[in-house]
């Protein structure tokens, strides 16, 4: 019995090791091909199913072909000063504040001098306003509450900001919700300068325009939720 269990454990470890080797080879092939094709190098962190053309799309658990496996809480598999741009949308809130700082430090490291980062994440001030605002029944906050309750809080006995907010800070693996001052501080701690607040899908840099995936939510809701900052490596 013990020998059978030992053999099973060994087989499992060997299988994991083999899968890891195979994944590493796949990732290297994707990265090498991307670098051959793209003169301007752009890394998309936490892409999920939202792949962006012309970017090196990455995710912790890739679900589609052509996506590199990348754990943002570990050292990125790239040399210093490799990329011109880094973009991340609604990902950093899924890791701890400490891991988020590590991620931003790594983004700074792999960017070239003059490179830019654009980061979009849920905004804590949106939740505070959602709770404190006097909803009039016809504004976007009221519509958001009705939609969020129906979609994600089926146990709620009625539509109320309290239920939606409690769900928001715990659901989908959310770990830390930023506001502008803390995200700005974290970017500056990583070494970034010229940190600017942006509107969703808008940027003075053409490369950073129209990146956020607004279509995944009803019109206006992602814009309502989100905080978007751009920062430069001087």
201 touches 118 (CB < 8 A): no
What is 40-121+180-234's CATH number?
3.40.50.150
**What's the pTM?**
0.89
What residue ranges do the domains of the chain occupy? Answer: 1-37, 40-121+180-234, 124-177
For 167-216, write each residue's pLDDT tens digit.
999 999 999 999 999 999 999 999 999 999 999 999 999 999 999 999 99
- Alpha carbons 192 and 202: distance in angstroms, whole number: 20
For 8-33, write each residue's pLDDT tens digit.
544 445 545 556 678 899 999 999 99
Q: Which residues pair with 85 in a beta bridge?
A: 42, 116
For 89-100, write each residue's pLDDT tens digit.
999 999 999 999
Nearest to 191 by CA among 122, 110, 124: 110
Four-residue CA torsion sign, 131, 137, 143, 149: positive
Sheet holding 56-59, edge to edge: 68-69, 56-59, 42-45, 83-89, 111-122, 226-232, 193-198
């Amino acid at each position: 019995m013990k020998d059978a269990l030992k053999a099973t454990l060994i087989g499992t470890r060997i299988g994991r090791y083999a899968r890891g080797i195979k994944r590493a080879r796949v990732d290297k092939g994707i990265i090498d091909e991307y670098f051959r094709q793209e003169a301007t190098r752009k890394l998309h962190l936490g892409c999920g199913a939202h792949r962006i053309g012309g970017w090196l799309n990455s995710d912790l658990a890739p679900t589609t072909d052509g996506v590199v496996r990348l754990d943002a809480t570990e050292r990125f598999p790239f040399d210093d000063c490799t990329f011109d741009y880094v973009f991340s949308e609604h990902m950093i809130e899924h890791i701890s504040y400490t891991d988020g700082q590590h991620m931003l430090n790594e983004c700074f490291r792999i960017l070239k001098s003059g490179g830019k980062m654009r980061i979009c994440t849920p905004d804590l001030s949106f939740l505070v306003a959602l709770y404190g605002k006097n909803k009039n029944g016809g504004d976007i906050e009221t519509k958001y509450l009705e939609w969020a309750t129906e979609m994600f809080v089926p146990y709620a006995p009625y539509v109320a900001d309290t239920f939606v907010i409690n769900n928001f800070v715990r659901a989908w693996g959310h770990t830390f919700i930023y506001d502008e001052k803390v995200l700005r501080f974290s970017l500056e701690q990583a070494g970034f300068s010229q940190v600017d607040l942006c509107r969703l899908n808008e940027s003075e840099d053409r490369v950073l325009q129209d990146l956020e995936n607004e279509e995944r939510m009803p019109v206006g809701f992602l814009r309502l939720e989100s905080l978007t900052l751009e920062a430069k490596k001087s």
